[in-house]
Structure 1
Amino acid sequence: MYETLITKKGQELLAKALSTNTQVALKEIRFSDYAGSINENMNVLASIKHTQDITSNMQDTNNANTIVIETLIPANIGGFYIETLGVYTTKGELFALAKINSTYKPLLSENLATDLHIKLYLQVGNASNVVLNIDESVVLASREYVNAELLLIKDEFKKSQGLQDNKISALENNKAEKLQVFTRDEINIKLNTKADKTTTYTKAEVDKSQETQNAKSLIETLNLKTMIDNLKLEVTNLKNAMDMHLGGGLA
């Protein structure tokens, strides 16, 4: 971009806004392939190829009397050359003009599609007398704007994450304060107290108990063997008695 100017109409609007403490509302930028020179007496820009709503305007950080106006032509719009830009008010008045290097805006079908970001710097005397009027439903954001917003979101996330971490730490500290802590001596006392409630046997007592159990098992085994022997004896006696009875009958 190499030339920008405020038209006579734009200057009149600014003067009126300054004297009446009002504002000039800018709405859109019109793109033209008009290749001729521009001057402040122009009221109309010929050969308009595309009209795009302004996406943002702001005061230049380096110059209080300069406003920065931005817009974006999306990738799906194109197929024309751009030579001249016209900045228009909400009432369709030509407020400013700009000449740029001849630029071709391609279409998607031409395999050269790209967004075209436009940024204009206008000297307006008092930046507070110029406002932006946009249609929220058709606002397009530049990559620079999106990246800046993403950085802000990341910063906010980091801050919130930091607050969350601090909150978790506070909760953990609060929980730790509520935990009952014992010294080593206190733990030993508790262990000894528990041990006092538990029956403890010496090795000799355990061995004696085992011997007792073995003796009981041996007695039970001997008793069982005696019962079996007695049964065998009864069976033998019964068999002998039957043999004698049968033998006497046959004789």
Structure 2
Amino acid sequence: MADYYTLLTDAGIAYETACKAAGTPIKLSQISVGDGGGAQYNPAATATALKREVWRGPLNALFQDEKNPSWLLAEVTIPSDVGGWYVREAGIWTDTGILYAIVKYPESFKPVLATSGSGKEFYIRSIFETSNAELVTLLIDDTVVKATRAWVMSYLADELAKLDGKQSVRVAATGNVVLSGAQQIDGVAVTAGQRVLLPVQTAAKENGIWVVANGAWSRAADANVSAKLTSGLMVMVEEGAKNGDSLWHLVTNGPISLGTTALIFEMLAGRTGIAPGTYKSLTVDKYGRALSGENPDTLAGFGIKDTYTKPAIESMIAQASALPVGAMVAFPVNSIPPGFLEVDGSVKSIAAYPSLAAFLGTVFNMGDEGGGNFRLPESRGEFLRGWDHGRGVNIGRGIGTYELDEIKSHSHMLPNNPNNNAPGSGSDGGEGAAGYLETGRTAMEGGSETRPRNLAVMWCIKAWNAPINQGNIDIAALQALAVQATEINRGTAKIATQALTDAGTDDSSIVTPKTLRWKVSFLIAPNGYVAFPSWLGGLIVQWASTQVTTNGANGGTGTVTLPMAFPHASFGVIAIKRTTALLNGAETYQAAPSGLAQAVISIDSASGNESSGTRDVFYLALGN
């Protein structure tokens, strides 16, 4: 037997048997300590009291051991104001005064301040085994019992572990995890001692909070028994690529049997993968989290099915237009609204106005419209008349046909009877009728036609449902106009630059008037010039009349200013005598450029005896 121990007394066993038979609980209420009569001894099961009791008080705690359910642990704290003796024995008593168990306790002195110079609380824990531990009840007087620090901490830990809020875990697994060894979970390397939430194990009964180990994992202390796993349990996840910073809760309803019940965990709050932003359409889970977001720009994108699409609405508008294609409307101003054409007998393209062409057909064609065309009716200057259509008022008319003007058949006669007899009273009722003359006609009156008062209007026909559909465009017809324009074919062409115009080699561009006029200048006068454009080489032709003075036999020279300075070069000057009078001898006129803006004209005498004086000279200069 061990040196120190606790054993049930014979009286205690008999009491336990009686309680079991009666189905009543075993009620333990007090513990006593003694000094063993002054010496250590070995208690026996036959004892009914301590050898010498020195103090008795209520039990502080009585509970089952976690690892050995048949073991009971009894605890008591002896106050600091009692003592002055040794403790060598202890006894646990029932509420009826029976010594239920006796303890051999290691000899310990319990001081008291009054006599020993110091004082302390004295804590005693006794462990004993019983076959009926589940029937044992602790009777406590709350006004007397004082809890130990260890008991309080243990009690608090147990109670906290039963709460729904659990200590956070480092990561939450995204798939099935092998419950052994350090490993990578949700992008995080977990090591021994770290807490992990397993919410998606293949065997759902394995879900829960676990502690990583180098070997086999174990469930966390706050979630390792059924009592600590309650429906609504919540735990925060600290890290992880997918599940980091998320809150999970247990949605399995109780009762829960750990290791048997499937534990279902769901994310209550956390990352869903949707980027921050403003969305018109959201997918939200049952916890109100946005799982996905879109910004559709159509009704279909919003899932709205009980409405019309844009093409359907356009079609309905076209069909429900107040005026269908082919309707004729009179307008009192010279302005054709969108969707209409003037009813002027003109030829139109079937491709440009397919709806109107289908409506009119070839009713008004004259045979010269050309392929792919149709003709409008002619309304200018015409009165419109309702088609007879079987009424018998305007018999024989076909719809859309023209009818010439006409006056209904009638006659006019002048009375020649002072008695104002009625016509036709003669023998034949005609010529010679009483009071009338057949030849008594009125003079011609009126204009070129018979007409009522009227307002001039412009009749137009609905050609398309503007602005919804302004006719189909024949791309093939336009394609011919999109080719390069030439002298033969109509098409498109680009505008030539001044450099292209000056080069004169490009035949696919069009020269604008401004480009043609570029650097063209002229002065049409006795002293004038013509400056050709740059694309013609920029040639400049100048002319002027001037006077040169001679001194007789030696001739003479003179410098003249040109009407326009040459921008680049002066090619040469030609001088011609303009004097009409004969001089004494022959003269030679010469000229040469002396600069871009000036020329020198010289007169040489051939005979040497010319008279002095001025000479009228005309010159012509070339340059660019």
The offset of 1:107, in angstroms, is 0.8
1:113 aligns with 2:141: no
Q: Are the counterparts in 2 of residues 14 and 124 from structure 1 also a CA contact under 8 Å?
A: no
Q: Which amino acid aligns with 2:56?
A: T
For residues 155 and 70 of structure 2, the distance between their equivalents in structure 1, rounded to whole angstroms, comes to 26
Aligned equivalent of 1:16, options 15, 18, 23 = 18
Match of 1:140 among 146, 153, 156: 146
Equivalents in 2 of 1:77, 1:50: separation in Å? 8
- Cα distance 1:150–1:128, how it changes in 2: closer, same or farther (>3 A)? closer
Q: Is the helix fraction higher in 1 or 2?
A: 1
- Determine whether 1:41 maps to 2:46: yes
Question: Where does residue 70 of structure 1 map in the other structure?
Answer: 75
**Could you say if the C-alpha distance between residues 143 and 16 of structure 1 is closer, same or farther in structure 2, counting changes exceeding 3 Å?**
same
Deviation per residue, 1:111-158 (Å, 9 max, x gap) = 43221111111111120121111111101111112334566798999x
Could you tell me whether the CA contact under 8 Å between 1:28 and 1:89 is conserved in 2? yes
Partner of 2:6: 4
Equivalent residues in 2 for 1:53-132 (5 A)?
53-109=58-114, 110-132=116-138
Cα distance in 2 between the residues matched to 1:3 and 1:102: 13
Percent identical residues = 26
Residue 101 (structure 1) shift: 1.1
What value does the CA root-mean-square deviation take over the aligned residues?
Answer: 3.1
Unmatched 5+ stretches in structure 2: 169-233, 235-246, 248-624
Q: Which residue of the partner structure matches residue 25 of structure 1?
A: 27
Distance 1:147 1:22, change over 3 A: same
Paired residues in the alignment total 169
Deviations 1:34-83 (A, max 9, x none): 13321111112231110021011011111111111111012222111111
Please identify the structure whose Cα radius of gyration is greater: 2
**1:25–1:132: 8 Å Cα contact kept in structure 2?**
yes
Aligned to 2:339: none
Q: After TM superposition, which residue ranges in structure 1, 4 or more long, deviate above 6 angstroms?
A: 152-157
Q: What corresponds to 2:262 in structure 1?
A: none
Q: Which letter does structure 2 place at the counterpart of 1:119? A: R
Q: Quick one: distance in 2 between partners of 1:153 and 1:8?
A: 36
Distance 1:19 1:151, change over 3 A: closer
Q: What TM-score do the two structures reach when normalised by structure 2?
A: 0.25
In the alignment, residue 32 of structure 1 is paired with which amino acid? Answer: G
**d(CA) in 2 for partners of 1:59, 1:18:** 18
Distance in 2, Cα, partners of 1:150 & 1:5: 30
Where in structure 1 are there 5+ consecutive unaligned residues? 167-251
Q: Distance in 2 between matches of 1:52 and 1:145?
A: 17
Q: For residue 117 of structure 1, give the secondary structure of its aligned residue in structure 2.
A: strand
Within 1, Cα distance between the matches of 2:11 and 2:157?
40
Question: What is the DSSP-based 3-state SS (H/G/I as helix, E as strand, rest coil) of the residue aligned with 1:136?
Answer: coil
Distance, in Å, in 1 between the alignment partners of 2:158 and 2:25 is 30
